[in-house]
């Protein structure tokens, strides 16, 4: 199931739950690496912190709601221009 989530097209962010109740978010496939034997998952966060997880100790996964991406300059649309 983990490989399927990582290779999904289009990718959907998901959360990994560990046996002790901790959670780790996978926001992009480039931020996660599954070892060739499938035993270890490295999950990087946007601030470059990372978690090294034993896949055998993961209890479940949940797909997150798609994030809305604000277009650059969206806050300025319709704003009055002038002095």
pLDDT tens by residue, 43-57? 999 898 999 999 999
Whose structure tokens read 């277009």? 71
Strands 23-26 and 32-34: unpaired
Mean pLDDT, residues 27-34 taken together: 95
Check if the beta carbon of residue 68 is closer than 8 Å to that of residue 21: no
Coil, strand or helix: which one is 20? coil
Please list, in sequence order, all residues whose beta carbon lies within 8 angstroms of the beta carbon of residue 79, skipping any fewer than 6 positions away: none
pLDDT band, residue 65 (cuts 50/70/90): confident
């Amino acid at each position: 199931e983990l490989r399927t989530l990582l290779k999904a097209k289009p990718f959907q962010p998901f959360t990994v739950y560990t046996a002790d109740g901790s959670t780790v978010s996978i926001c992009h496939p480039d931020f996660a690496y599954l070892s060739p034997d499938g035993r270890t998952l490295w999950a990087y966060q946007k601030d470059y912190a990372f978690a090294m997880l034993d896949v055998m100790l993961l209890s479940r996964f949940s797909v997150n709601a798609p994030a809305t991406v604000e277009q650059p300059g969206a806050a300025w649309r319709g704003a009055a221009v002038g002095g």
